[in-house]
Structure 1
């Protein structure tokens, strides 16, 4: 009886919870001090100066939160809200509000950490639910964004 009750409770909990999110993480070493890398990427609208897919970034605020509107090369826009920032840890998190990307409930963090005697490691992680695409397709899109962005960070920081 107790086992059946436990099983029923577990099923109810699973049925009421959202679908498990997909996750993508990419990281790259950078031959520059963490502070130098953070100076390049740490501003919330700084992505407009280093990501090759971003034509321009416009920063605004809404309800006391930073909002960035990314104009993409070739057309399209992405609107993102900064949801967390820790300059001491050299990290910030954001979520997508509007986007043509095949994802929903997207939340991401980018962070710079010391690595080796004088270098850094940049890690970019995102979780999301696929939208209008398979999980593999959505992961491939996000992974491509991260890989190109991290390569550009290496170029800009060294």
Structure 2
């Protein structure tokens, strides 16, 4: 094989792998971050409780672990929203050390499917924390932009509330 053939084959394989992995995780993504006026450990106490989304997200009125144990991968939570809708989510990874957890939506009225998300708290310096909420998903019953807008609205609502909660 010539060097050109090897490079062409490697590039083709890389493109195919990238395409397959983006299909598995969802072709769309949202990534939002906010700086909070509190140290990361304090913010993690609030954000890092998988069963505590109702404490800091304004549209979630109740969170209940239905299966498994809180903060343990495999746990499923049922979120009740202010409009009466519910969302079922499954914790897929959790790390107090990395101040991060990942979860997947199992059932939801949101226009998404194959939804996987991660929330991470890190230092922003000067005693402040950075909260990052990101996801990948596919649109479901709506166009891509409507799905992106729905998830963006969810993230902005929660992150803006966190910023208000820790304002000094």
Instruction: Sort the TM-score into its range (normalised by shorter chain).
Output: 0.7 to 0.9
Match of 1:96 among 92, 105, 120: 105
Match of 1:144 among 131, 140, 153: 153
Q: How many pairs does the alignment contain?
A: 153
Give the C-alpha shift of residue 82 in structure 1: 0.2
The unaligned stretches of length 5 or more in structure 2 are none
Aligned-partner Cα distance in 2 for 1:156–1:140 = 24
- 1:93–1:108: 8 Å Cα contact kept in structure 2? yes
Give the C-alpha shift of residue 135 in structure 1: 0.7
Question: Normalising by the residue count of structure 1, what TM-score does the alignment of the two structures yield?
Answer: 0.87
Aligned-partner Cα distance in 1 for 2:42–2:103 = 22
Question: Normalising by the residue count of structure 2, what TM-score does the alignment of the two structures yield?
Answer: 0.82
Give the C-alpha shift of residue 145 in structure 1: 0.4
Aligned-partner Cα distance in 1 for 2:64–2:125 = 35
Aligned-partner Cα distance in 1 for 2:149–2:89 = 20
Aligned-partner Cα distance in 1 for 2:161–2:57 = 6
Matched, 1:60 2:69: no
The corresponding residue for 2:47 is 41
Aligned-partner Cα distance in 2 for 1:90–1:66 = 17
The unaligned stretches of length 5 or more in structure 1 are none
**Other structure's SS at 2:146 match:** helix
The corresponding residue for 1:26 is 32
Aligned-partner Cα distance in 1 for 2:68–2:37 = 36
After superposition, residues 72-151 of structure 1 pair within 5 angstroms as: 72-151=81-160
Aligned-partner Cα distance in 1 for 2:99–2:33 = 15
Q: CA RMSD in A?
A: 2.5
**Other structure's SS at 2:64 match:** strand
Higher helix share: 2
